[in-house]
Every structure is written in structure tokens, then in C-alpha cells.
A and B are shown apart, each in its own frame.
Chain A
Amino acid sequence: EAQVTQNPRYLITVTGKKLTVTCSQNMNHEYMSWYRQDPGLGLRQIYYSMNVEVTDKGDVPEGYKVSRKEKRNFPLILESPSPNQTSLYFCASSKDAGNMNTEAFFGQGTRLTVV
């Protein structure tokens, strides 16, 4: 089954403790991205990757890092989480970077709480 898998689904952590949210897709997609969703602000893109070893900032990249060492994986790293990073996070992938005629698939989300 074609899918985007995020882990963990739920995470409560303390300020400053480094964490990684994993994202994996099994569709051999080139393009992967991370979004965060906050009440009243909707979904906003954090980082994206056009292909292996190619990453770039989205609209709200501060406080986040990503890497794309393999095509299927695109982890989101919070080096020093802060309470304002409490949010619902979604990973997404689509087949071709730059191809507007292809849909994106989303993971089920990771609800992160930083206390």
C-alpha cells in the first residue's frame, strides 16, 4: 500500500531536549516536505526536499533541521525544542518535484507537545 509513515504519532518532550520525527514513503517519490498546523494559522510549510541531498526552507523553518540522505526518508529534527513548537506536524511526498500535475500524499501526523 502506498503510504507516508510518520513516527511517533504523539510526543511530549521538555524544552531543549533534541528530538527527531521520522518520515518515510514507499512510493519512490522525489519531493518531500514538512508542514506544521496550528489553530487559526492553517498548514504552513517548514522545509522541503526536491531530491536526495537537496533541501530548502519553507515558510517557517526557524528552529528546525532536515536531512535527505535517502530518497525514502526525510526526518525533521528539532535541536532544541521550545514550547512555541508545540504543534501538529505532517510529512508529505509527491512523485516529481516541479510537476504540478501530481498529487501529494500526507502522513497521519505527529502531535508534538513541548513543555
Chain B
Amino acid sequence: DAKTTQPPSMDCAEGRAANLPCNHSTISGNEYVYWYRQIHSQGPQYIIHGLKNNETNEMASLIITEDRKSSTLILPHATLRDTAVYYCIVRVASALIFGKGTTLSVSS
């Protein structure tokens, strides 16, 4: 399975954009990039996913580089409630393989 590399932690000021990077240099052509987040010990929450093109929904934007070896999740206006662990996952099968993720801390 393709693996991902994320920074262990990031800080962001409330109201600013949070840009969370993810490296997935061994990704294959048919593998999707998924982002989930986990707030405290709640169930992981789906954020967004994409294959090749950039994607945007009501929660976030996903920017995937042209070679697909890395991506960035953008939370355009971070709030305190966005403090969570963010997981970047390259999905090759039905199972989601979670890494350690990035702990995003949003402060006022």
C-alpha cells in the first residue's frame, strides 16, 4: 500500500487558512487520496477525497500536485473547532490505512 508522510503537528491562528501537507510519493495511478479528521476521541470524520483534480467542498479544498506525489488540505478559515488530528490516507482497497496524522491546533 502507498504510504503517506505528514508533519506530526501544526499550529494555526483562528480565522487564518490552515494548509496541511501530505507526501505520498509511491502513490499509484488508481489510488485516491482521502482526508479524515478526528476530534478528541470521536469517530473519524470524512473531509474530502480526490484522484487527480483539485477538489473543494463545504469543509475544505484538496490540492493534488500534477505528479500526484503530494497533496495539501486547505481549511480556508480555521476555527477553534477545527482543532483535531488530520489523517491523509492513500486508499488502495476498501480498508482505510491510518497513519499517525497531523495534530492541528487552532488558537485565538
Binding site for B on A (CB under 8 A): 4, 31, 33, 35, 37, 42-45, 48, 50, 58, 88, 90, 92, 94, 97-98, 100-101, 103-109, 111
Contact = CB atoms under 8 A, between A and B. Distances in A.
A50 B32 contact: no
Task: Give the dominant DSSP class at A's interface.
Answer: strand
Contacts, number: 55
Contact of B31 (A50, A92, A100, A108): A100
Nearest to A58: B95
Given A33-B95, A58-B95, A100-B92, A43 B44 contact: yes
Interface residues of B, number: 22
Interface in B83-98: 91-96, 98
Contacts of A97: 94
Given A92-B96, A106-B44, 9 more contacts: A4-B43, A31-B94, A37-B41, A42-B101, A58-B95, A94-B94, A105-B46, A106-B43, A111-B41
